[in-house]
Structure 1
Amino acid sequence: MRIGFIAMSGVRAWDPELLELGLTMPGFVERKEVIAQLPSLGLLTLAGLTSNLDEISYHEFFDFNRDSPPDDQFDLVAISSFTAQIEDAYRLADLYRESGTRVVLGGLHVSSLPDEAMEHADAIVIGEAEAIWPQLIEDARSGGLKPVYRAIAPWNLADSPIPRFDLLDPAKYNRITVQTARGCPWRCDFCASSILIAPRYQTKPVSQVVSEIRRIKAIWSRPFIEFADDNTFVNRGHSRSLMRSLIPEKIRFFTETDISFGEDLELISLARDAGCRQVLIGLESPSSVGLNGLELRSNWKLKQLERYHEAIARIQAAGITVNGCFILGLDDQSTEVFDQVLKFVREAGLFEVQITLQTPFPGTPLYDKLRREGRLFEDRFWEKCTLFDLTHEPRGMTAQELRSGLIWLSQSLYNEDAVWDRRQRYHRGASPESSASDDTSRR
């Protein structure tokens, strides 16, 4: 069979004013560009599970207003999409089905709203796709494709193949994704990935991670790796072993983790030596307001709040920059949050900062809560799930106050003087040996 793996790529704000401001706000523009340059690790992994009997290819599709869909002739296409691009994914799927090509849809949104997705596909995948993919391919080859494939048992990362990085155009990508762990034990109410796709936290064997990185290095001479993990350093034992094994590989990488990373000086040192350039940490709020009840199982982040500054200082002193992520519009946050975030960023000396709006992705407890409370602006607002667009009525301020605050804070954080000041403050605090040849920014 001829199989096309198609990723819906790129992130864009729906709000026209935010889109226009994005032309001059680096935080928006650069984040969009970074995401657009990351290939779909999920599709490349499924390609690695596909028989050599099949002819396969990988494609990315950005925008119906700008691009034409891949015009290759396929017997089957597998389309993966974020919620913000799912309407375009459905439109693309409909075009392929009209031409006689069978379509498989999967991903977080499809797992959240399977009945909706089934209207646009010959088959959908619910949950982790790896376990059912070989059977799906066999069914497609024999003409017995089923409408629904549901992963029952959790996929064991130890059984994962090396993703088909060779399907990528080396000149097109400036960073490549690798997964070292799946899921997160904290289970925040706004996070769909660790609830729907990966309900059980697990790590990938270190030897497998190293093998994947060596495969990447055989294609890219000096790759920048982005670990596609929800929380890379939460398992300290695995993390130390992984970092020690990565030191000889001489790579550079970015990853996401939680603030407890700043408590382990040995792990920080190992990560720096292994090539860690930046960590994104979900701080979520600069104060206790909004943190209470954020996780389904505990108030872990609320308990860590007093350690935020000290942890950030430890990480950045070692030469690893911190990208602190804040969510605006958390319940009970007032308009004071915008000044509080700005003050926190300056006092903590964060190298980089990312601000987003609270977004109720379908399938999350947050979505169910806001829908139950009647606070969603629309029943179907998927194109606005960009993290920058308003989707519901906040509880501690008006929607207009939240939108205006987002714009004001973005302009305050991302103007040239503010960015320059953050860079200078970081370089004054980082150790000389770690900052002498700094390329820590993901941008």
Structure 2
Amino acid sequence: MKILLLYPLFPQSFWSYDRFMEIAGLKAVIPPLGIITVAALLPQDWEIRFRDRNVACETEADWEWCDLVILSAMIVQKQDFHRLIHKAVQLGKKVAVGGPYPTSVPQDSLDAGADFLILDEGEMTVPLFLEALCQGETKGIFRSIEKPDVTQSPMPRFDLLERSAYLMMAIQFSRGCPFNCEFCDIISLYGRKPRTKEPEQALAELQTLYNLGWRGSLFIVDDNFIGNQRNVKRFLRELIPWMQQHDYPFTFITEASVNLAEDDELLQLMGEAGFYAVFLGIETPDQDSLQVTRKLQNTRNPLVEACNKINDAGMLIYAGFILGFDGERSGAGDRIQEFIEQTNIPQPMLGILQALPNTALWERLKKEQRLIEGNGHLTGDQNTIMNFVPTRPIADITKEYVEGFWILYEPRNYLRRCLQQCLKICSLKNQKHMMQFSLSKRMRFITQLIWHQGIRRPEIRWQFWYQLLIVLLRKPQLLNMYLGLCAAGEHFWEYRMLARESIARQLGYDPLQLSTTSAPAPEATLIQ
């Protein structure tokens, strides 16, 4: 068979880094690991063409060539996902779909016209789909309650990727999370028992990327990398000598729960292995809200101390924050801002709570008859009002969201946090902070950054040069990291306007009605 694998477009979002990609001459942040793993599950004698539409769109010749179209998508991609299904139907092509969005809301894919729904985890359901095809079936829904043993997962088809178009490469070590946060859909998708690959299996994937010529940042996409701490340590102990033998070709970023700060050995191993950053789900500094949403792992130790400890281990912190929890007290947005100022987290992802399908929050709100009819606001994006009736006025929540986002990403505030975070990080001697750029792309990147922030913007021009000098004098080993953070600001300064306009549109306001007062920090605090 001739198979066309398509990955739908992402809309502009917090994580799309649009302006950064433009400055760097890149197309997308990370490749779609799920669909290239599905490609590895298909029969070897099938012909496969893969198109990540965020990098390069398929051609009409691709549509004419294929026998079957296979799509994978997250909720945030649903607009282009539906468009691709409709096009396949119009052209008389059979279409199979899978991924988190179809798994969570199967009816949407059926209504759009998909023929085959390959749901849950592909290692279990792709073989069922292939068997149905062999038997001449033309439609089907394939599900599995059983979770696969990921030690049997195939090597992803990294060879299908246009690797030079991405900021990072990606691998997966584990699936599942041991915690029980009410709003999170990871445990409903992948379960609460973290399943890990074997260390040699993960190292084989790294070796494949190395052999393909990749050097630079690599995202371990686990939703909680440290969910199984015993097995993670086994992996890290084998990763460290591999990195040494290969002269540290990669730097790693991943997602982890805040209890990472409780394990000194784990922090040390991650630092020695080349981890330069971690995304933490902090959500809120309000202890009562953490209790309500069952994020109990965030209540065991002071969160500011946890962040400082992770910085001391050599890692930059990215973090997520949420407004709109039940029983949330007024001023939650201000308290989040205060926490971010204390910790100097450069890129806080502030969002409004959404009830995702099949989560404990979804089921509870459904029983309480608080879900909004038609689920009209569910987009998977951060700047969308909640799809349920909150316990405090929605106008208050959205006002705190817009004001908070606007102030946090005011250019001077943002650049100040970037500097302070880099100054806080205890950089380890083996760490390399590099980007997968050719010399021409590197020169373009630096030239563009100097033009936009060192020349074109008078409000930050002096700050850019002053802070750059501080980094060169005090943390020259973090220069690449710092410049990358600065360049990302171009995206966030544009995105905060999009966020304000989006919220205003949903509320039926003029965007200027939403207050976006900004109070940059005093200049004297820049080098503290």
- Same fold, TM exceeding 0.5? yes
* Corresponding letter in the other structure for 2:103: S
Q: Distance in 2 between matches of 1:398 and 1:44?
A: 44
Residue segments in structure 1 that go unaligned for 5+ positions in a row = 14-26
1:335 paired with 2:330, answer yes
Q: Distance in 2 between matches of 1:215 and 1:330?
A: 43
Greater shift in the superposed pair: 101-110 or 216-225: 216-225
Matching residue of 1:5: 5
SS in structure 2 at match of 1:278? strand
Deviations 1:143-176 (A, max 9, x none): 3244111124211101011000100112211211
Q: Tell me, yes or no, if the aligned pair for 2:11 and 2:76 is still in contact at 8 Å.
A: yes
Q: Distance in 2 between matches of 1:100 and 1:428?
A: 58
SS in structure 2 at match of 1:256? strand
Query: Judging changes above 3 Å, is the alpha-carbon distance between structure 1 residues 224 and 129 closer, same or farther for their aligned structure 2 residues?
Result: same
Q: Distance in 2 between matches of 1:131 and 1:214?
A: 26
Query: Judging changes above 3 Å, is the alpha-carbon distance between structure 1 residues 60 and 210 closer, same or farther for their aligned structure 2 residues?
Result: same
Query: Judging changes above 3 Å, is the alpha-carbon distance between structure 1 residues 353 and 136 closer, same or farther for their aligned structure 2 residues?
Result: same
TM-score by length of structure 2 reads: 0.74
Greater shift in the superposed pair: 394-403 or 233-242: 394-403
**Once the 2 structures are TM-superposed, how far is the Cα of residue 398 of structure 1 from its aligned partner?**
1.8
Matching residue of 1:94: 86
**Once the 2 structures are TM-superposed, how far is the Cα of residue 48 of structure 1 from its aligned partner?**
0.9
Matching residue of 1:303: 299
Q: Distance in 1 between matches of 2:364 and 2:379?
A: 18
Q: Which of these two proteins has the greater Rg computed from alpha carbons?
A: 2
Matching residue of 2:223: 230
Matching residue of 2:375: 380
Query: Judging changes above 3 Å, is the alpha-carbon distance between structure 1 residues 68 and 134 closer, same or farther for their aligned structure 2 residues?
Result: closer
Query: Judging changes above 3 Å, is the alpha-carbon distance between structure 1 residues 94 and 198 closer, same or farther for their aligned structure 2 residues?
Result: farther
**Once the 2 structures are TM-superposed, how far is the Cα of residue 419 of structure 1 from its aligned partner?**
1.9
Q: Tell me, yes or no, if the aligned pair for 1:111 and 1:126 is still in contact at 8 Å.
A: yes
2:354 to 343, 353, 359: 359
Matching residue of 1:147: 140
Greater shift in the superposed pair: 366-375 or 125-134: 366-375
Query: Judging changes above 3 Å, is the alpha-carbon distance between structure 1 residues 431 and 171 closer, same or farther for their aligned structure 2 residues?
Result: closer
Q: Distance in 2 between matches of 1:69 and 1:401?
A: 47
2:35 to 40, 43, 53: 43
Query: Judging changes above 3 Å, is the alpha-carbon distance between structure 1 residues 361 and 33 closer, same or farther for their aligned structure 2 residues?
Result: farther
**Once the 2 structures are TM-superposed, how far is the Cα of residue 125 of structure 1 from its aligned partner?**
1.8
Q: Distance in 2 between matches of 1:241 and 1:362?
A: 35
Matching residue of 1:136: 129
2:151 to 158, 161, 164: 158
User: Between Structure 1 and Structure 2, which shows a larger proportion of helix residues?
Assistant: 2
**Once the 2 structures are TM-superposed, how far is the Cα of residue 71 of structure 1 from its aligned partner?**
4.7
Residue segments in structure 2 that go unaligned for 5+ positions in a row = 22-26, 430-474, 489-528
Q: Distance in 2 between matches of 1:28 and 1:149?
A: 31
1:419-430 residue pairs with structure 2 within 5 A?
A: 419-430=414-425
**Once the 2 structures are TM-superposed, how far is the Cα of residue 376 of structure 1 from its aligned partner?**
3.5
Q: Distance in 2 between matches of 1:203 and 1:316?
A: 26
Q: Tell me, yes or no, if the aligned pair for 2:28 and 2:166 is still in contact at 8 Å.
A: no
**Once the 2 structures are TM-superposed, how far is the Cα of residue 99 of structure 1 from its aligned partner?**
1.4
Q: Tell me, yes or no, if the aligned pair for 2:119 and 2:142 is still in contact at 8 Å.
A: yes
1:30 paired with 2:17, answer yes
* Corresponding letter in the other structure for 2:270: A
Deviations 1:213-247 (A, max 9, x none): 11112223313111111110232222222222222
Matching residue of 1:286: 285
1:389 to 366, 384, 390: 384
1:80 to 45, 57, 72: 72
1:112-131 residue pairs with structure 2 within 5 A?
A: 112-119=104-111, 120-131=113-124
SS in structure 1 at match of 2:117? strand
Q: Tell me, yes or no, if the aligned pair for 1:184 and 1:230 is still in contact at 8 Å.
A: yes
**Once the 2 structures are TM-superposed, how far is the Cα of residue 382 of structure 1 from its aligned partner?**
5.9
SS in structure 2 at match of 1:355? strand
Aligned-residue sequence identity (percent) comes to 25
**CA RMSD, Structure 1 to Structure 2 (Å):** 2.6
TM-score by length of structure 1 reads: 0.88
**Once the 2 structures are TM-superposed, how far is the Cα of residue 11 of structure 1 from its aligned partner?**
3.7
Q: Tell me, yes or no, if the aligned pair for 1:280 and 1:324 is still in contact at 8 Å.
A: yes
Matching residue of 1:207: 200
Q: Tell me, yes or no, if the aligned pair for 2:167 and 2:217 is still in contact at 8 Å.
A: yes
1:106 paired with 2:94, answer no
SS in structure 1 at match of 2:350? strand
Q: Distance in 1 between matches of 2:378 and 2:227?
A: 32
Q: Distance in 2 between matches of 1:252 and 1:98?
A: 45
Q: Distance in 2 between matches of 1:204 and 1:144?
A: 33
Q: Distance in 2 between matches of 1:277 and 1:188?
A: 26
* Corresponding letter in the other structure for 1:184: C
1:257 paired with 2:256, answer yes
* Corresponding letter in the other structure for 1:272: G
Q: Distance in 1 between matches of 2:280 and 2:18?
A: 15
Question: Which runs of 4 or more aligned residues in structure 1 lie more than 6 Å from their structure 2 counterparts after TM superposition?
Answer: 31-35, 66-70
SS in structure 1 at match of 2:322? strand
**Once the 2 structures are TM-superposed, how far is the Cα of residue 58 of structure 1 from its aligned partner?**
1.4
1:166-177 residue pairs with structure 2 within 5 A?
A: 166-177=159-170
Matching residue of 2:519: none
**Once the 2 structures are TM-superposed, how far is the Cα of residue 352 of structure 1 from its aligned partner?**
3.5
SS in structure 2 at match of 1:292? helix
